[in-house]
Amino acid sequence: MEQKKQERQFTTFLTAHRRQLYAFIYSLLGDHADAEDVYQRCSMIMWDKFDQYDSACDFLPWAMGISFYEVKNFLRVSSRDRHYFSEQLLNQLFERMQNGKSVQNVQLASLENCLKSLRQKDLWLVEQVYWERRKCSSVARELGMKINAIYDRVGRIRSQLRECVKRRIAEVEHV
């Protein structure tokens, strides 16, 4: 029973992050066939090591770490082919990507906090326009407003969110 649960959890995580992992591997190799081969190998390695995965941590960074080392191994074996990055450059790229992810995580966390601070009607409008992907004209009809009023309100909300995110990021950087 525990094995089935573990299989389901692994499959869910891997499926949810397939595109990101493949893009990560491809960005390091630059060849789709090689990236697919390495991705398949990584999937098997991740399954073999899944019992070592700490479920309190995010799956994607764990999977990217395994993928990074598998890409390095692939490049070492394929080192005769000169169109691949050197190991030193690969390490630098990985470090930059990791730094970029942490910046992105701070930005997303800041945005989530700022969204929570919106008035209920503004949050509803953001949900309709951005998450539900409704046209402003449809929202305007539903609210009995002119479309330009919706555009203006969405613009004000975006400005408010942008300023809020900037403030929160500045607070994080000063901590």
What tens digit of pLDDT does each residue of 38-64 get? 999 999 999 999 989 888 888 988 998
| pLDDT recorded at residue 72 | 85
Structure-model confidence comparison of residues 127 and 86, the more confident one = 127
Whether 121 is in a domain gets the answer: yes
150 and 113 inside one domain: yes
Domain that holds residue 120: 107-175
State the CATH number of the domain containing residue 117: 1.10.10.10
7 and 80 inside one domain: yes
Whether 96 is in a domain gets the answer: no
Whether 58 is in a domain gets the answer: yes
Overall number of domains in the chain: 2
| pLDDT recorded at residue 154 | 92
| pLDDT recorded at residue 102 | 55
Q: How far apart are CA 136 and CA 156, in angstroms?
A: 14
Max CA pair span of the chain? 67
What tens digit of pLDDT does each residue of 50-102 get? 989 888 888 988 998 999 889 888 887 776 554 555 666 666 666 666 655 55
Q: What is the pTM of this model?
A: 0.48
What's the distance, Cα to Cα, between the start and end of the chain in Å? 45
Whether 102 is in a domain gets the answer: no
